[in-house]
Amino acid sequence: MRERPKKHFTPRANWINDPNGLIFHAGQYHLFFQHNPFENKWGHMSWGHAVSKDLINWTELNVAIAEQPDHAIFSGSAVFDKENERLVAIYSGHRGGNQSQYLAFSYDNGNTWDGNIKVLDLNMADFRDPKVFRYNDKWIMSVVKSKELKVSFFESTDLFNWNHLSDFHSPEVGDIYECPDLFELDGKWVLIISTNPGGPAGGSGMHYLIGNFDGKTFTPESKAKYLDYGPDYYAAVTFNDAPERITIGWMNNWEYANDSKFETLKTWNGSMSAARKLRIKDGELVQTFIGETKTYKVTTDNFEFVYKNGALKFTRAGERLVIDRSELWDSKINTFTVPAVGDLEITALFDAGSIELSVNGHMVTSLLLVGHDEPVLR
C-alpha cells in the first residue's frame, strides 16, 4: 500500500484527474476536480470539492456536482457572479457523442449546486473544458475544439448567451487540445494548453504561449514552450480571483493513468501537484513552488537522489539532463530530459509518491513509488 502524500491533495477514496473550477472565494481557495465517487478508475465523472486557506492543507468536502442522468460532468471553471451573488460553474457536459457547455449555480460558497443548464452547443463530439474569466464588462470563455487543434474564444454579458470571437491554433502544440487557460500576467497575456499526446516526456503534457489579447483575439509573441518537462503534470489551470496568479495541475499521465495495476496500490487513485506562483521574466513564465522545498547547487555531470528503495538518477548529455526513474517507477516513460546549461541549481519538493523539481528554472514533475523518506543527494 502506498503512503498518502502530505504536501499534495489526494481524495479520501477513488479516482481523480483534472483540477476544475479553481477560485479564491470567501477567504478560501476552492479546488474542484474530476472525480469518480464510486471506483478507483476513470468513470462516472463528477466534480469533487476541497478547500484550503494556504494551498497546502486541504479539507475535502462532499461531491459538489454529481453525474447527471443525461450527462457526465467534465472539466470546466468557476466564477463569482457579483450581480446575482452566486458562484457559477461552467463545465462540459458529456453525453454520448456530444459535448456541450453547461452552467450550475451555488448560493452557499460552493457546498451545494443546482441548475445544470446547457448554454453552448455546437453539436460537436470534442468541444470541452471551458475556462471563463471577467474582461472589462463581459465574460470571456476559452474552450477547445479538441481534435481540430483549436482554442475558441467566446464572449457573453450574462453567462447564458455566448458569441464566438475567434479561434487560435499553434503549429508547435501537439495532438488533442484540452484544458485551455487564458490570463493576464505582468502586462502580458498567457495561454496554457494541455495536449494528449504531445508532452515533452511522451504521452500527455502542457505548453504555454505569451502574447497579447485584445478582447477578441490572442496573438502570440513567440513559439510555444513546455510548462513542465516531466511526465506527470497535466491539465493545470489558474485560480480565478486569487490575489496572485496561482496554478495547480494533475500529477499523472494519460499514457498509464488507467493502468489497472495502480488501482491495487492504494484506496485512492490520483493526486494534485503542489500549487505554483506564476510570473513573467525575460519572456519566460517563471513558476515557484508553494510549500517546503530544498535547493541544491550541482556541478557534477552525474548524480542521484537516493531513497530507501532506489535512486532517481541524473546524467548530463550535452545541454540536456537525462533523468532515469526506472528504479522507482514500473510503467511507461521511465526516462526523460530537461534543458541543463552550465552549473545546476535544483529546487526540490519531496513527498510520498512524487518529486517536483525546478532545474535552472525548468519544471519537472514525476511520480515515484517512494515513501516519506527524504532522499540523499549523492
The set of residues, in sequence order, having a beta carbon less than 8 Å from that of 365 and lying 6+ positions away, is: 228, 230, 231, 232, 233, 249, 251, 273, 354, 355, 356, 357
For residue 337, give Cα distances in angstroms to 121, 197, 202, 313, 341.
41, 17, 11, 11, 12
- HEC secondary structure over 124-148: ECCEEEEEEEEECCEEEEEEEEHHH
Catalytic residue among 18, 129, 228, 351: 18
| Cα end-to-end span (Å), the chain | 28
18 catalytic residue (yes or no): yes
Q: What are phi and psi of 273, to 5 degrees?
A: -70, 170
**How many other CB atoms are found less than 10 A from the CB of residue 305?**
25
Is 351 within 8 Å of 271 (Cβ atoms)?
no
Q: Quick one: cell of 50?
A: 476541497
Short-list 375, 372, 376, 378, CA closest to 8: 372
Q: Which residues are CB-neighbours of 8 under 8 A, at least 6 positions away?
A: 251, 271, 272, 273, 274, 351, 353, 354
Cα distance between residue 221 and residue 210, in whole Å: 6
Contact 246, 239 (CB under 8 A): yes
φ/ψ (deg, to 5) at 110: 90, 5
Question: What is the 3-state composition of the chain as percent helix, strand, coil, each rounded to the nearest 5?
Answer: 0, 55, 40
Q: Look up residue 170 and give its amino acid.
A: S
Q: How far apart are CA 193 and CA 189, in angstroms?
A: 13
CA distances (Å), 91 to each of 150, 195, 242, in order?
18, 19, 20
Supply the residues annotated as catalytic: 18
